[in-house]
């Protein structure tokens, strides 16, 4: 079964850091670009960051650029999101998502076909 399981969310004070993880199974992880997408309470989806299959292309939303980093460990079928200098507006449910097209080096993303159930990040003092 193709599956993504996020972990690492929690309550954190403004200005602190948190590292999210996403464990993948059921597919050849190192063939696909991966993404983090978040959804603030009662709001829409926001793409946060993406990384190509070979880590050669990485992108960030302007709202997190310079504060968040993304990485992957293909040997461990894992995706990570390091979040620093957290703000109240980063409070959201964070989803990990798999790209549908393999070996998309440019990471144009034709679509995200597998999603995890999300991990909740709450930034509050």
Partner 1 sequence: QSALTQPASVSGSPGQSITISCTGTSSAVGSYNVVSWYQQHPGKAPKLMIYEGSKRPSGVSNRFSGSKSGNTASLTISGLQAEDEADYYCCSYAGSSTLVFGGGTKLTVL
Binding site for partner 1 (CB under 8 A): 35, 37, 44-47, 50, 52, 57-62, 95, 97, 100-101, 106-113, 115-118
Residues 6+ apart with CB under 8 A from 53: 30, 31, 32, 33, 102, 103, 104, 105
Nearer to partner 1, 5 or 11 (CB): 5
- Write down the least CB distance from residue 4 to partner 1, Å: 9
| Residue located via tokens 């992108």 | 59
Nearer to partner 1, 16 or 118 (CB): 118
Nearer to partner 1, 5 or 14 (CB): 5
Nearer to partner 1, 48 or 123 (CB): 48
Pairing status of strand 32-39 against strand 92-102: antiparallel
- Write down the least CB distance from residue 109 to partner 1, Å: 6
CA distances from 25 to 29, 87, 108, 121 (A): 7, 32, 23, 23
């Amino acid at each position: 079964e193709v599956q993504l399981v996020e972990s690492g969310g929690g309550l954190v004070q403004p200005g602190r850091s948190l590292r999210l993880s996403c464990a993948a199974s059921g597919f050849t992880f190192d063939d696909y670009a991966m993404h983090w997408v978040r959804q603030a309470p009662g709001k829409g989806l926001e793409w946060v960051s993406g990384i190509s299959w070979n880590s050669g292309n990485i992108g960030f939303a302007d709202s997190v650029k310079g504060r968040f980093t993304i990485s992957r460990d293909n040997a461990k079928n894992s995706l990570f999101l390091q979040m620093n200098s957290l703000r109240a507006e980063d409070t959201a449910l964070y989803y990990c998502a798999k790209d549908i097209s393999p070996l998309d080096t440019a990471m144009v993303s034709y679509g995200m076909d597998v999603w995890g159930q999300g991990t909740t990040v709450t930034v509050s003092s």
